[in-house]
Amino acid sequence: MAASPAGQAVVGRTVYHPDNSRTETVRDMNVREMTETTYNSANALISKKVFLLNEKGEPLQGNIYDGRGNLVARAQCLYDEFGRRKEDRLSNMKGELFQRIVHEYDASGKALKPKVMNLSQSPTIRPAAIDFTTPPGGVPAGVSPDAGSPSSRFAPTQIPAASQQPASTPSSGPKEEKKPNFFRRLFKKE
């Protein structure tokens, strides 16, 4: 019975970007997996990418998650007959290709600058905006009042611009009485 080889090292690195965001990469060859997590300058998770690696430690395929952990895209890496990366393909959850990155090499085999081709159907990979100005149970302007879930307060569903009604429409019906704002009610003299 042969002894199992000793575990490979887990390697991690952090890259700081000019906009004060950072990307942390952890490569674990014991399970052939690489995880990249990107945080914005406020330390909020923007995206997480998890890749399956080949025996050389290069990515084969992966999943891309947004800042809330939702799967938003898939990646596939293709290699040529010499084992060099030939193309990276990113597709959305409908299977529609939205980005291709083509890797080319000169006559001596030196890698040239990759060519990025952005197509349509790109998923949004950004942290969702949180509206702290909306009262609990309240509905912010421009948001569907029947958004449904309690979490809609944190990630409001926007009404398409074509279906929005103008803020002031002349009507012959009864006019609604305007309530005084919070500070006027607070400091009201009687």
Q: Would you say residue 98 lies in a domain?
A: yes
Domain enclosing residue 64, as ranges:
10-118
Mean pLDDT of the chain: 75
Q: Would you say residue 125 lies in a domain?
A: no
Which of 8-17, 150-159, 163-172, 173-182 shows the lowest mean pLDDT across its residues? Answer: 150-159
pLDDT in tens, 130-143: 555 555 555 444 44
Q: Would you say residue 142 lies in a domain?
A: no
Mean pLDDT calculated for residue range 11-28: 95
Q: Would you say residue 89 lies in a domain?
A: yes
Q: Would you say residue 20 lies in a domain?
A: yes
Residue 2 has pLDDT above 80, yes or no: no
pLDDT at 157: 40
* Of 132 and 103, more confident: 103
Parallel, antiparallel or unpaired: strands 10-16 and 22-28: antiparallel
Separation between Cα atoms, residue 66 and residue 128, nearest integer Å: 9
Q: Would you say residue 82 lies in a domain?
A: yes
The number of domains in the chain is 1
For the chain, how big is the Rg over CA atoms in Å?
Answer: 25
Terminal CA-CA length for the chain = 92
pLDDT in tens, 114-171: 999 988 755 555 455 555 555 555 544 444 444 444 443 334 444 344 444 444 444 4
